[in-house]
Amino acid sequence: MTAVPDALGLVATLARTALDAEEGLPVGPVPLDGVDLGGLFEVAQRHRVQPLLRTHADVLGLPEELTGRLDAWHAMARRRTLLQSLETVRAWELLDRAGVGVLAVKGQPLAVQTAGRADARGPGDVDLLVDPDQLVEAHRLLTAAGWRPREGGQVEPGTWAWRHLTRWGNALTYAGEAADVDLHWRLDRMPDAHPPFGVLRARSERVTLGTSSVATLSRYDALRHLATHREGWIWLRTLVDLRRLARAEAALDGPLRPAAALSLALARATVGLPATVPVDVHRRLDDTPAPLLERVVRLHADGVPTAHTAAYGGRDVRGRLGEISSMTDLRHAAVELVLPAGVVLPVRARTAWTGVPRALGLRAADLSRKLRRDGPCAPPPEPAA
């Protein structure tokens, strides 16, 4: 196993032991004598695995000080988790009843798939994936129901910014009183990173939230989405999700793209994989070059860079370059490098003649601001698939 240093390595050990227990393997308490429990909790919180540790606190033998922190966090998160569940159902049903093709992805639907409980991943936003041909209708339904594009992102259909964003981007965020909604029209900005919506919808699954059910990605597609998402190299929670998804035989029954295999190799090196994972999948993961895996482990240990730094921007672009699998993806990567979809949101022009110069000016100002704040930055290279 590749080592992850310090508190993160200990949190990974706790997560691995908890997942072993879920799978019926014999486990014992994890020694924590002399460990800074406050620092340990902060790492668990940063990597979003508090629900996992709290659920298995007795098996892990967690001391009262740590369980107290986990219980306090759970009590604070309980209301947000309940509201997220209600809003996931409300948003999904709003679009579904209007005839919009929609899947609820990540979040609580994934928690139910992987752990059987809506609160197993903690609170967060509502993520919806809609048919790209019905994006305008989905936008109008959400805004009419009270969700509003976040400040700085009030882009509207008919504008140049809307056309640029929907062609080259993949998500809009709407603020709500109870929970925000991330509206996606594809799972990744690279169009060929995943199957088209019709294919995803045809093999989707239903999960129960409260007294309602919503459609979500199949475990097969959920695993590949998480494994090729850049979060897979940042948060321990995503690696936990991958191990849980890998328990389903159907989730691994098919090819793995290099980026997905790399994330699964990282999961195996940190939180482990189920004993039921086929030998041929392990052989596929064994093909991951050791230096590449070591770099991903270091990236994982570095933590979550803020989205407003030059380091994040460089890391994000390199990650997208690693996802390219077609000429269409290459064109998207080129546009993303020059004029990222998020930069155009404040532009109110209705035509490209006035919109493009304004957007390029904003892009130049944004890069200059990041460089002045962060200085020349050369973070560890994002592994290319």
259-314: per-residue pLDDT in tens? 889 899 999 999 999 999 999 999 999 998 888 888 877 777 766 544 433 334 44
In a domain, 112, yes or no: yes
Q: Does the pLDDT at position 322 exceed 90? A: no
In a domain, 380, yes or no: no
CA distance 311 to 184: 25
Domain count, the chain: 1
- 37-46 and 6-22 are packed helices; what angle lies between their axes, rounded to 10 degrees? 70
In a domain, 301, yes or no: yes
Nearest CA to 143 among 121, 173, 170?
A: 173
**Predicted pLDDT at 107:** 93
Lowest-confidence range among 33-42, 70-79, 134-143, 288-297? Answer: 288-297
Lowest-confidence range among 7-21, 33-47, 151-165, 213-227? Answer: 151-165
In a domain, 344, yes or no: yes
User: pLDDT (tens digit, 9 = 90+) per residue, 139-173?
Assistant: 999 999 999 987 666 778 888 778 878 887 888 99
Its pTM surpasses 0.85 = no
Within 10 A of 339 (CB to CB), how many other CB atoms are there? Answer: 17
In a domain, 15, yes or no: no
CA distance 341 to 230: 17
Buried b (16+ CB within 10 A) or exposed e, 152-164: ebebeeebbbbbb
In a domain, 85, yes or no: yes
Q: What is the CATH number of the domain that holds 316?
A: 3.30.460.40
CA distance 369 to 124: 30
Q: Give the rounded percent of residues in the chain with a pLDDT score beyond 90.
A: 57
Q: Does the pLDDT at position 192 exceed 70? A: no
Q: Does the pLDDT at position 2 exceed 50? A: no
Q: Does the pLDDT at position 89 exceed 80? A: yes
* Range(s) of the domain holding residue 310: 80-374
CA distance 327 to 340: 18
**Predicted pLDDT at 375:** 53
**Predicted pLDDT at 310:** 36
Lowest-confidence range among 1-5, 108-112, 125-129? Answer: 1-5
In a domain, 50, yes or no: no
pLDDT mean over 207-219? 95
Q: Does the pLDDT at position 316 exceed 50? A: no
In a domain, 323, yes or no: yes
User: pLDDT (tens digit, 9 = 90+) per residue, 41-71?
Assistant: 999 999 999 999 999 999 999 999 999 999 9
Please give the mean pLDDT across all residues of the chain: 83
Burial (CB count within 10 angstroms: exposed 0-12, middle 13-18, buried 19+), residue 2: middle
Q: Does the pLDDT at position 214 exceed 50? A: yes
**Predicted pLDDT at 330:** 66
- Binned at pLDDT 50, 70 and 90, residue 357 comes out as low
